[in-house]
Structure 1
Amino acid sequence: MAAKLLQDASSVQGFWNILQEGRSAMTEVPIDRFNVDAFYHPIRDRVDTLDTRGAHFMKADPAAFDAPFFSILRAEGKPLDPQQRGLECMYHAFENAGIPLQKVEGSKTGAYVGSFAKECDTLFTHGPDAPPRYRASGTGSAMLLNRLMSWFYDLRGPSMTIDTACSSSLNALHLSCQSLRSKESTMLLAGCNVILNPDTIMMSLSNLGFLSPDGLCYSFDERANGYPRGVGFGVIVLKTVSQALADNVRLDVDNNDTIRAVIRATHSNQDGKTPGITQPNEVAQALLIRETYEKAGLDPKLTRFFEAHGTGTQIGDTTEATTIDSFFGKLRSPSEPLIIGVVKSNIGHLGGASGLASIIKTVLGLENGIPVDAWNIKFPTENMPWPSKGLRRASVNSFEYGHFRQISGLPW
């Protein structure tokens, strides 16, 4: 497992520090990313502007990349989509998992990546008079996955880029688990998202009223007014438990697989027809949670933490909170509550990588025995020990603006 997120969250440990300290990593748009003054207007009804000045950015330039290490020539590297630069994050993920690269090369390892918005390619569309020679291989969605994993690491399993908007990386996780269960491959999963240009997806989201004017995400709060965008890469290495245990027997002590959590079930569905394409369906959401637990044969009474999608929008948060209460409310009490977390309140909305950020956060909470709830909401949010002894179980929810969603259940 590895992550390269925003500000001080340039590693998994840095990410956990931000969560533990209850911080938001929001800043005003740095001038080296784009000139926010050229796009900002405080009136939300204006469709040719941004109504927010804040977002969540990496401290380092997301385009900074050790291209020669990954056998990429200078001319080829110039138009490279920063999302493809997640190669470095994947290298760290293998290191963290205790898997030597020689054990990966030529194997049936599969590669699934969740990605949303082709912002780099749009930049070249704005200046078609001098398109770079390697634009197709540098910005294509298929190349994002093929270069990220399969080509450099010589992976021979299935290779697929998933775009279901905000739920992309969790649907990539869902397909990864299915591929593992069918014995098709050993799996690597990645989710990527990078802010590059205000007049691509960011302005479109602002036009729809999705973005928070003050750059903060007040998930499940009366002040909820949308979400800020975020930047980041995340990678998870997946194996079946039996395979990981068997590999631990075969490998030497310095290269044992690190098992950080177990995914018991994943499931996905869609809202169907609702009053509007972006309006959620409470019944479909509840059905997804119920079918996930039934699929795994799990008792939902043992779940004490739920990492929600929580975009900080009035209709979205209200529907999701009502759904969670309808399923878990009768199983919990004020003395033994279900703790709800939302990582977007700390790091913003990472688009296609948002679900994976939620997974990494939840795994860290399971490992450390600390369920981190939502930041900056109007009721007490002090960190506390895990509210039950023995097995720790959590669920992670993610869906997109067309409401194709996915949920995962993780025990530790």
Structure 2
Amino acid sequence: MNPPEKQDMNVTTDEQTAAPVAIVGMAGRFPGARNLEEFWLALSEGEDCFSTLGDEELRAAGVEERHLGDPHYVRRVPLLEDADRFDAAFFGMTPREASMRDPQQRLFLELAHSALEDAGYDAFAVPGTVGVYGGAASNRYAEFNIRANKELAARAGALSLDIYNNNDYVASTASYRLGLTGPALSVATACSTSLVAVHLACEALRAGECDVALAGGTEIELPYGHGYRWAPGSIYSQDGVCRPFDAKANGTVFGNGGGVVVLKLLADALADGDPVRAVIRGSAVTNDGSDRVSFSAPGVDGQTRAVVEAMTVAGLGPGDVDYVEAHGTGTDIGDSIEIEALTSAYRFLAEGGGLTPSSVALGSVKSNIGHLGPAAGVAGLIKTVLCLEHGELVPTVHFTEPNPKLNLGATPFRVVGQRDAWPGGGERPRTAAVSSFGVGGTNAHVLLEQGPAARPGTPADGPELLVWSARTEPAEAEVRTRLARHLTWQGEDAFVDTVSTLRGGRTAHRERRAAVAGSARDAVSLLSDAEGRGVIRPAEGRPPARSRCSSPGRAPSARRWPPG
């Protein structure tokens, strides 16, 4: 692991640092986690969120009988709850259109809406110009679910089927359905897609192309609910277990899920009173070029340059980084090259010395939820933001002892094997890095630090009017339950902010409710009353013109909706 020559890096250490970008909202749906609260619980408890499928489940999903007795057929896969469900009316779609649209596009749209609400905005009326940067896995939905029905495909027409299922329209569909007028760029760099999208969104914010940016990605593996057949020499795990950096690592497992983050320039976020969940200090994107074994193989030099360039832009050195959320696929060649590239970059930046063994923690969310393809980078980013917020490092599942081929003892890195405190608040903030690498050689690396301390909550100086709404009565009941849970978690510090966000940061819907409370505790009592005593139901009336149908599965947030 020799460091590269300085003239080969094409960066200078005195390069001007980039304007920091705030992550002000997040949303994610992952295997074993319908939201970020459940995601954090799975991470902190070190859960393996894969499902083991039985014969009847596989038959119901359409798996051929010959596979069920095949000893090389792997039944462990990371599934996504309710991947087939979608509230078409909420986004102004007909049921027919929604049924023909790629579920990856539908998931991205849902996550974009939820992430904006997490940031405290009415998702259909965000102030300023909002850009969208995101991508999805190769579309197979039209092949398996639409074109198999020749009559349906003929009625839809070739153009409609293309719009509903072509990845070119992932970002622009979200822009259209939410009324967002900034740049809409669908990104496609294979497994690095969503982290490249984050990089592009940050650059657009710095260039003044938009005031707010959404970035992320989705993947839903089709045919859904199937396992896979393992073959010697493939990148797939023989036993359906993903063990990044472990001595028993034997491959990766592709899964289902997605995430979206909301970004603003840090200065703008602070001026606007947005919740700053974390700060992006710098990022970089490179390609491996031709200096590698094959097109699909990773390259050391390209990954090294991505790390060096991102850290240089961020104005950080090796001693500033506490944790690296690695690409960490659990494949022999992938993990080896990643460790070699990281070590080479850190040695280059340290100018040959000062690297303490085991000083930088290392982990990979793929051990929990599998490899989410184009969504892998944003999944790692969201995990890292949650760790920064909670001040904890979470276990890399299935890690027992280091893969000896990695020679970790000669590097600055150690794999996080168990839950551990991540102290912060001293001379410098907690700082982390996230890597994501795609087949084809496009590499992305992002530097993060914990957000500034939240301002103290404003105490209520008298009774406050809480308002909320939903499209249907069942949806309203669920929103009410989630609002009560949020106030229980966040307590009195969040009460006044919650009231403010409910008034100005949520779309008004037909099923409207209100309650008067002087504290979070009083509000929780009213919201939890099974008889609805103290909850006001306004007279029937037409909602404001901008109103849309309310999503039954999304809860309001109080300028932030942190997990736990």
Contact 1:280 1:316 in 2 (8 A): yes
Note if 1:243 corresponds to 2:268: yes
1:357 equivalent in structure 2: 379
Residue of structure 2 aligned with 1:284, choices 285, 302, 308:
302
Report deviation, 1:297.
1.6
Q: Is the 8 A contact 2:50 2:78 kept in 1?
A: yes
Q: CA deviation at 1:144?
A: 2.4
SS of 1:246's partner is helix
Partner residue, 2:444: 406
Q: For the Cα contact (< 8 Å) 2:135–2:167, is it kept in 1?
A: no
Find the counterpart in structure 2 of residue 269 from structure 1: 286
Equivalent residue, structure 1, for 2:325: 307
Q: Distance in 2 between matches of 1:193 and 1:80?
A: 14
Query: Which residue number in structure 2 is paired with residue 14 of structure 1?
Result: 38
How far is the alpha carbon of 1:52 from its aligned partner? 2.2
- Please state whether the residue corresponding to 2:209 is helix, strand or coil: coil
Q: Cα gap change, 1:72/1:372 in structure 2, threshold over 3 Å: closer, same or farther?
A: same
**Letter of the 1:382 counterpart:** Q
Q: TM-score normalized by structure 2?
A: 0.65
Quick check: 1:333 aligned with 2:345?
no
Are the counterparts in 1 of residues 75 and 228 from structure 2 also a CA contact under 8 Å? no
| Cα distance change on mapping 1:331 and 1:71 into 2, 3 Å | farther
How far apart are the structure 1 equivalents of 2:343 and 2:163?
47
Name the CA distance, whole Å, in 1 between partners of 2:229 and 2:442.
Answer: 20
How far residue 278 of structure 1 moved from its aligned partner, in angstroms, is: 2.0
The answer to whether the 8 Å contact 2:100/2:146 transfers is no
Specify whether residues 63 and 198 from structure 1 end up closer, same or farther in structure 2 by C-alpha distance, changes over 3 A only: closer
| 1:5-404 equivalent positions in 2, closer than 5 A | 5-7=30-32, 9-29=33-53, 30-31=57-58, 32-35=60-63, 37=65, 39=67, 51-60=73-82, 62-86=83-107, 87-101=109-123, 103-104=125-126, 107-124=128-145, 127=148, 129-130=150-151, 131=153, 133=156, 134-147=160-173, 149-185=174-210, 186-197=212-223, 209-248=234-273, 257-273=274-290, 274-328=292-346, 331-334=354-357, 337-379=359-401, 381-386=417-422, 389=426, 390-404=428-442
| Runs of 4+ that moved beyond 6 A | 202-208
8 Å Cα contact 1:96-1:258 kept in structure 2: no
1:3 and 2:3 are equivalent in the alignment: no
Consecutive unaligned residues in structure 1, runs of 5 or more: 45-50, 249-256
Residue pair 1:116, 1:168 contacting (<8 A) in 2 also:
no
Shift of 1:367: 0.6
In 1, the alpha carbon distance for the partners of 2:231 and 2:35 equals 29
Computing the radius of gyration from Cα coordinates, the structure with the larger value is: 2
| CA distance in structure 2 between the aligned counterparts of 1:260 and 1:10, rounded to whole angstroms | 20
Rounded to whole Å, the distance in 2 between the matches of 1:59 and 1:37 is: 25
How much does 1:206 deviate? 6.7
In the alignment, which residue of structure 1 is the partner of 2:548? none
Determine if contact 2:396/2:418 at 8 Å carries over to the other structure.
no
1:290: Cα distance to partner? 1.2
Letter in 1 for 2:443: R
2-side partners of 1:234 and 1:33: how far apart?
Answer: 25
CA RMSD, 1 decimal:
2.5
Q: Distance in 2 between matches of 1:364 and 1:341?
A: 14
Q: What is the identity percentage for the equivalent residue pairs of Structure 1 and Structure 2?
A: 33
Change (3 A) 1:100 1:74: closer
Give the letter for the 1:258 counterpart.
Answer: P
Q: How big is the shift at 1:34?
A: 4.2
For residues 113-148 of structure 1, the C-alpha deviation after alignment (integer angstroms, 9 at most, x for no partner) is 12221121222576263315142332121232222x
Judged with a 3 Å threshold, the aligned counterparts in structure 2 of structure 1 residues 80 and 90 are, in CA distance, closer, same or farther, namely: same
Give 2:275's aligned amino acid.
T
Does the 8 Å contact 1:36/1:53 carry over to 2? no
Q: How many residues are aligned here?
A: 392
SS of residue in 2 equivalent to 1:101: coil
